[in-house]
Amino acid sequence: MNGLHNGIQLLGATFVPLEKNTPSARMQEIAQELDARKIVSLTAREDLADAWDLATITPAFMAMADDFVPAEPDPDSLSEILFTTGTTGKSKGVMVSYTNQVNIALAGIETTNIQPDNVWLIPTPMNHAAGLRKVHIAMAVGSTSCLLEGFRPKCLVDYDRTAFVCADGNTRITLDENLRTRPFDTRLFASGQAMIPVLEPDQVILEVKFDDFLPGHLAQALSDIPKTPLAISKFAMCLNLI
């Protein structure tokens, strides 16, 4: 997707990325609204018969002579249009110029302090500003971007927590019991869904967090508790059962 993005801009065209699961009718509606020349998909889709798919056209492009001269767009011309998710209504296109892109990247470099030898893992899709801007920032400083297809939920994790706080050392102590899990599905809050117990009935997960120091009276109290140190997350414990 990043190569497609760069190629479109080198042509002097406007990049309009969409979520890969966008219904074909909505894609065609947007294309018609923007008077788009072509819809490009990552793979062939039966519901987008007239679209170009990268798997088919890439070999032909790679075989072409390397005499391409990139466009030199006006800094204030339209670089991309990012469509909102439409949470509160129909999604709307946000127009971004090349000047906007550069200024956002410069601001991102200053706030993140990213360095040329950094590697940035980016799970956010390229149709989302959070993903696209990170790529621009990394390119501007010469660092490496590692693009993922996104994070896919694997399991649901649930437990009962009792929490305590102490101002000394900003200490936070939590007791998590009845840890349970099940494979992920979209019915997050549906009742009657069977959960798999992860811990024995008498087991509790104790976590202690503090900033500068652990108060002595708490350290003494914690030392007297029978416990087994673990370097593993609740998510990992649940995932091992799925």
pLDDT score recorded for residue 212: 85
CATH 3.40.50.12780 in the chain, residues?
A: 2-147
pLDDT score recorded for residue 19: 82
pLDDT score recorded for residue 151: 66
pLDDT score recorded for residue 208: 92
Strands 205-209 and 171-183, how do they pair? antiparallel
pLDDT score recorded for residue 38: 86
pLDDT score recorded for residue 55: 81
The answer to whether 210 and 172 are in contact (CB under 8 A) is yes
pLDDT score recorded for residue 220: 92
pLDDT score recorded for residue 160: 95
Listed as ranges, residues in the chain with pLDDT below 50 are none
**Structure pTM?**
0.60
3-state secondary structure of 230: coil
pLDDT score recorded for residue 186: 67
CATH number of the 2-147 domain:
3.40.50.12780
